[in-house]
Structure formats: C-alpha cells, structure tokens
Structure 1
Amino acid sequence: MEYIGAGTLLAWVWLLLGQGFFWRTDVRLPDRRDPARWPSVAVVVPARDEAGVLPASLPSLLGQKYPGRAEVFLIDDGSTDGTGALARELAAERGGLPLTVASPGEPEPGWTGKLWAVRHGMALARERYAPEYLLLTDADIAHEPDSLRELVAAARSAELDLVSQMARLRVETGWERLIVPAFVYFFGQLYPFRRVNRPRSRTAAAAGGCVLLRRAAAERAGVPESIRHAVIDDVTLARAVQRSGGRIWLGLADRVVSVRPYPRLAQLWRMVARSAYAQLRHRPSLLLGTVAGLALVYLAPPVTLLAGVALGEAPAAVLGGAAWAVMCGTYLPMLRHYRQPLWTAPLLPFTALLYLLMTVDSAVQHYRGRGAAWKGRTYGAP
C-alpha cells in the first residue's frame, strides 16, 4: 500500500506541475484589437434533429453584431423533426444575418454526417462570396451578440488560423453538476490549453462547438475531405490545421454556452461513450493502459487512504490522503468556473470511476457493432 500511495502521489505532483498547468481556468481569448478591415465570415451550422434547441441557439447567431459581411448556413443533415422549417421560421421572425437552409442528402461512404454537412456548408459559402473565415458551430451553441466580432478580432490580432472556445456546458441537474465540470477538466488534462497554444507545439486540440477557421488554412489542410471519417472531428481538425503549418488557439468561453440538456445519467453516459474508444484509436492496448492509469491516478488515493486507516498503516494513509488532496486542489478552479460548491471536489474519484466505466462500455459497444452511435447513425473505426 505504501508503494501504491507513493506512486499515486508522485503522479499527482507531476500532473500538478508538469502537464501544462491543465488545471488552470484562466485561458481566455488573447489580447485583441479591431482590424482596419473586417473580413467576411460564413457561419456553418450542421444540424440533425435539433428542433428542441434551435429556438435558444439560432437567434443568437442571426443576431450577431458583426461589422463585416456575415451569413449563416444551416445544413439540415436528414432531420425528421422539422429542423430546417423551424430554422426558416425563426429567421423570418427574428431577422438579422441572412440565413440559408440546405440539405446535402445522406453522406457518402467514408464520411461522418457532421463533416458531410460542414462540407456542403463550406461549398455553398464559397460559391456565394468566398468568405475569409468560417465559424463552425454546433446547433446547440448560443453566442453572445459580440461573439463573432471578438473571435475575428482575436484571430486577426494574434495571426491565428484557428481559434476555438470550449463553450460553457449546462450544469443544472445533479448528474450534470457531477459529470460536466469533470468532462472539461479531463479534456484539459488530455490537451492542456497552454500547451496547445504554444507556437510549434506538438499538442493540438479544438472544441467543436465553436471554431473560427481561416478558409485559406482549411484549404491548405484539405479540410474537411482530409478528416471526413473523424468521429472526434474537432481534435482531428486542429491536428490537420497544425500539421499544415497553421497556428491554433484553444481556451475557455464565458459568453458561448451550450443549451443542450443532459438531465439523466443515461444521456451523459451516451455522450461520453459514443466517442471514448475512438479517442483511444480503437486499440485494446490503449484501453487497458487508460483503465490502469485512471485506477492508479484517481481511484488509488482514496482507497489507499481508507485502507491505511482501517489497517493501521499510517504511511500509506498519509500518502493516499496527500494524493487525494492534490487531486482536489487541481479540481477547485474548474468547480469555480462552473460555479459549483467546492465541497464536491472530493467526489472526483467517483466521477472518474464513472468515466472509466463509460470508456469500457464504449469499447464493448464498438465490438458489438454499435460504437460511435449518434442519432440513428453508427460509425466504425476508419
């Protein structure tokens, strides 16, 4: 137990100091100034059966206060709930930026539905006025009126090819409060924002809900054709842009929010499980390593502490308790960011156990032929 306690404490000291300060939540849009000329932008919104969230999200895009030319292209990806018709009604009622609603039909083999829709939206925009930038945003993401202006100003000022913000996710139900802040925390641990944002960094990531992309950079990277199979399309997009010589940036957002509810555990479970095994590149060896790593880093500290106390092994209890304390300390900034009670930090090992089980379930569903299932479509390994 002492060896396990010492190992997990060393792991947390390294995570605290050596993993790009992933636990800090102060990475916001870089310093920016208004450009002399505002470039044209096309807002591309892939949507499949999104009638439930469009009234809260689409008007925020149509109402953008942007000084340059901007249009919204909502691409209806085979919806059966009237998504396209509702979008047209909202545009007629609210006005604002011009809206084009189109449907590309079923995706060709080798394409995910979202990227097939993005391809169609980019092509429509290019035919109409060849925008300099593309704002790729999900149908459940609501933007403050100055969101587009701030994104473009940041991209211009810092000479960035891709600017992405991790939208503030909804945390209203008990399960959302338990799982959602940890989702962003784990994402930041995998892809430390500061490391992503360094010039010539080898770490690349983006948050798919809000991505401003220079069209020239997309063409240089062959996007979206080069990533057409990607289930985790945001991270794959960032890698493609980075590898083609583009500069990328990723941070947290305060004024870009997700309006999609996940009131029940089953819904959150599906959200994570549908892509977790794809994140591990469908490799059993990476799955085993991830399970072992999660167990050592997140489960061992409380287990070592409690077992040490129960068996009278004071050194093991102290080491396990110290590791658990460091873990909780790294989680506090994310809880503050989501305005959650700080006393819930010690629950992180339980949340990590849920994520471990979701990851295992993702692999099981993959081998059963139901992996990466989303709204009636299932995507296997590319």
Structure 2
Amino acid sequence: MTAVLALLVVLAALTGHTWVNATRWLRRPGAGPVEVTEPVAVLLPLRDEADRVTPCLRSLLAQQGVRNLRIVVLDDGSGDGTADVVRAVAGDDPRLTLLTGVAPPPGWLGKPHACWQLATRTDPAVTVLAFVDADVVLTPYAVAAAVTELRAARATLLSPYPRILVRTAADRLVQPLLQWLWLTFLPLRAMERSPRPSLAAAGGQFLLVDQAGYLRAGGHASVADKVLEDIELARAVKRAGGRIALADGSALASCRMYETWPQLRDGYTKSLWASFGHPLAAAVVVTLLLLLWTAPPLVAVGALAAGAPAVAGATLAAYALGVAGRVVSARATGGRAWPDALAHPVSVVVLGWLTLRSYHLRKRRRLSWRGRPVS
C-alpha cells in the first residue's frame, strides 16, 4: 500500500504540473486582426507533397496583417509533380517564389538541408523567418499573430504548436501524447528563462525565428545531421545566447500529420530514438511511464479480484489522475478530451512499442523517411 500511495503522490504532482503549465505558463497568441510592419518570410520545404500541399499554400496566400510578406517554397527533389501544384495554386502572385532544391551533401539529412537552402536563399532584408510544414493550415492572421508573440516574448525562436487533427483510432491514441509529454514534464517558465540548451522544446510544423538570431546560432547548418532538427535548432539558439518560447498555436494553425497508420508508425519510429538518446535512458523512461500510467488500472482489476478494495480504490484514483492530465492537456491545446483520455494507459503502451521499434530498426540501419536514410 505504501508503494501505491507514493504512486498517487507522484501522479498528483505531475498532473498538477500539467495544469500549471496549461493554465498559467503556456503562451496563447490570439487569432484576431493584428498588423506587422517588419519584413517576414514564410518558408515551406516540400518533398512529394502534391496530394496535400494545396490547403497549406492557399492559407499562406490568404495571410493578412503582414505588410511585407514573402513566401518561399522549395521543391526538394519531388517526383510527384509537387512543383506543378505550387505553380497552379500560386498563379502569378508576386509574393511567392518557387525554388528548386539540390540533394543533401554527405553529413546532411533532408529536412535540415531543405530548410537551410530556404533560409540562405531568402532576401537578407527579412527580419523573421517562419518555417511551415506542408500539412499545416494557417488561419488568416496566424503569421502576424505569431510574429507579434515572438516580439512580445523577447524571444529569438517561438514555436506555436498547431492543433493536431485526429481522425482515426491510432491518431487518437498517439498524437495527443506530443502535447501531453511537454506539458507534463517540461517546466515552461523555466525553459524560457534558463540558458541551458538541454531545457528546450520546439515543433517544426510551425516555427518562427529572428533572422539575425538564427544566423548567430548557425541556422540549420548547425543541426545538419539531426533527426529532431526543430528541438536541436532551439538548443543551438540557446547556446548562441538567444531565448526560446513555446506557445499554444491551436487558434492559429491546424495540422493533420499522418493520413494512415503506417505513416504514423513510421513517422514516430524514425525519430523516437533521437528523443531518448541512449537505449538505457529510453528503457528507464518507458518503464517509468508504464508504471505510472499503465499499471494502475491493471493493478486495480487485480486488487478487486483478490479482495483488496483499499488497493483497488487507490490505484483507480491513480488512473483517474492520469486521465485528468490528458484532459487538461487536450483542453489546453485544442485537442479532443473525451473519451480519448480514458485510453491513456493504452496510449503509453503504444508509445513504448514505437520506441522499441525505433531502436530496433536503427540498430539494423533500416530507418528512412521519404526515400532517404535518417540514421
């Protein structure tokens, strides 16, 4: 019973931390009309995105509130006619420039190299770079609002995390863990104030950075071989003396990351090993996650069967705390709370399996993404 009570205390503390992050410390840029006068470049790297880039492009061309807006698109070796789709959607809009990318040289992964080409081939008069992924759709004042928040936070880099759209059971099990993990374990206020590079988080779907600070940090050239180039760029910014900030961007942008279970599975598999580092660290973290959030309902069932109502009640309370944390996270980031939060123990199991698969395939040098190796 002592162990169960200790579990309750830990879960209460973590759920409380989630609540504090979500209600007190998380930045929430508004989606209302706002005007920005400084020159801003929206940078969109594309590789084989012909079937889904149109909504993103249309939302970029519909941006308001930025007086001096440039949209720079890079076709990164697509073989599906992505460039033709860009030309058809953009028409003769003078704000959009379409570039043809070159293959990444040795030592570079595809995404950092595409972003670096975009950043270095953009007008140097631009003061803010806004990186956007092809699966992101922005609201009309999203760029203006995000730039305003970047300056209000006095940050070099701002990551306004989009609302993640979920449609399938796999989506609902896995995708909400992205926001839940950083709201539960990352002290947002300390992250913004601390110069420690290890205390950093960012999402590459929608990411803004001050141009001068980006170059001081070495830009994407400093993270050329990193799978999690977004987080590593945030760390590079901190190492160069800059500040970073995380925000709830659910009012500014939405993102449907993966269309199918194989895409979702492979997308997480390619990068989870980089999230944890050493396999031993991954094993410890996954074990703790399972003990804290998956074991309680199982123990409760066993305790009821064994005639131990006190233990069953305490472990059910632990399960309820875990569900509460997921609900708080979902409501803070525009996600779906019910009934998805009830399956949180299953979500943690799936995360553990994806992590194991990530290390297994990396050991066998079989990790790839969009036809390119990632490790």
The corresponding residue for 2:56 is 57
Counterparts of 1:89 and 1:118 in 2: how far apart (Å)? Answer: 23
Aligned partner of 1:307 among 302, 305, 320: 302
In the TM superposition, what whole-angstrom CA distance separates every residue of 1:160-203 from its partner, at most 9, and x where no partner exists? 21111111111223332333223321243343444433465662
Shift of 1:353: 0.6
- Against the structure 1 CA distance between its residues 225 and 176, is the aligned structure 2 distance closer, same or farther, given a 3 Å change threshold? same
Counterparts of 2:17 and 2:212 in 1: how far apart (Å)?
35
Where has structure 1 moved over 6 Å in runs of 4 or more?
31-37
Report the AA paired with residue 106 of structure 2. P
1:291 corresponds, among 264, 282, 286, to 286
Write the distance in 2 (CA, Å) between the matches of 1:240 and 1:286: 23
From 163, 166, 191, the equivalent of 2:158 is 163
Corresponding position: 1:225 with 2:221:
yes
Q: Measure, in 2, the Cα distance between the counterparts of 1:363 and 1:205.
A: 22
Give, in whole Å, the separation in 2 of the partners of 1:367 and 1:176. Answer: 27
Note the aligned Cα RMSD (angstroms). 2.6
Matched ranges for 1:336-351 at <5 A: 336=331, 337-338=333-334, 340=336, 342-351=338-347
- Are the aligned partners of 2:34 and 2:141 in contact in 1 as well (CA < 8 Å)? no
Cα gap change, 1:44 to 1:269, in 2 (>3 Å)? same
Name the SS of the counterpart of 2:102 in structure 1.
Answer: coil
TM-score, normalised relative to structure 2: 0.91
1:367 aligns with 2:363: yes
The alpha carbon displacement at 1:334 in A equals: 3.1
CA distance in 2, matches of 1:257, 1:146: 10
Correspondence 1:134-145 to 2 at 5 A: 134-145=129-140
2:269 alignment partner, one of 264, 269, 273: 273
Structure 2: which amino acid aligns with 1:11?
V
Structure 2 residues not aligned, in runs of 5+: none
Secondary structure of the structure 2 residue equivalent to 1:21: helix
1:101 — aligned with what?
Answer: 98
Instruction: State the Cα deviation string for residues 328-361 of structure 1 (Å, max 9, x = none).
Output: 1111123435453534322100111111111111
Q: Is the 8 A contact 2:109 2:224 kept in 1?
A: yes
Tell me how far apart the structure 2 counterparts of residues 347 and 53 of structure 1 sit (CA, whole Å).
Answer: 30
Q: Given the superposition, is the C-alpha separation of residues 341 and 329 from structure 1 closer, same or farther in structure 2, using an over 3 Å criterion?
A: closer
- The aligned runs of 1:105-144 (5 Å cut-off) are 105-125=102-122, 128-144=123-139
Q: How far is 1:20 from its partner?
A: 8.0
Shift of 1:261: 5.8
Q: 1:270 to 1:55 in 2, by over 3 A?
A: same
| Alignment match, 2:322 | 327
Give the partner amino acid of 1:347.
A
After TM superposition, the structure 1 = structure 2 runs for residues 38-53 of structure 1, keeping only pairs within 5 Å, are: 38-53=37-52
Counterpart of 1:233, as a letter, is E
Q: Residue 240 of structure 1: which of 236, 251, 265 is its match?
A: 236
Asked if 2 retains the 8 angstrom alpha-carbon contact of 1:73 and 1:99, the reply is: yes
Which letter maps to 1:252? Answer: D
Contact (CA 8 Å) 2:141, 2:252: kept in 1 or not?
Answer: no
2:15–2:184: 8 Å Cα contact kept in structure 1? no
Counterpart of 1:173 in structure 2 is: 168
State whether residues 170 and 260 of structure 1, in contact with CA within 8 Å, keep that contact through their aligned partners in structure 2: yes
Moved more, 204-213 or 27-36: 27-36
Count of residues in Structure 1 that have an aligned counterpart in Structure 2 = 373
1:74-85 equivalent positions in 2, closer than 5 A: 74-85=73-84
The aligned counterpart of 1:253 is: 249
Any idea what the Cα deviations from partners look like across 1:225-281, whole Å, max 9, x if unmatched? 111111111111111112211121111112333453634433322222211111112
Unpaired runs of 5+ residues, structure 1, are none
Identity rate, percent: 29
Which residues of 2 match residues 5-16 of structure 1 at below 5 A? 5-16=4-15
How far apart are 1:297 and its partner, in Å? Answer: 1.1
C-alpha distance 57-33 of structure 1, shift in aligned 2 (>3 A): closer
Whether the aligned pair in 2 keeps the contact of 1:46 and 1:138 (CA below 8 Å) is yes
Of 196-205 and 163-172, more deviation after overlay is shown by 196-205
Does the aligned pair in 2 maintain the 1:178–1:351 contact within 8 Å? Answer: yes
What CA distance in whole angstroms lies between the structure 2 residues aligned with 1:341 and 1:29? 19
Cα separation, 2, equivalents of 1:275 and 1:220: 26
Aligned mates of 1:196, 1:251 — CA distance in 2: 12
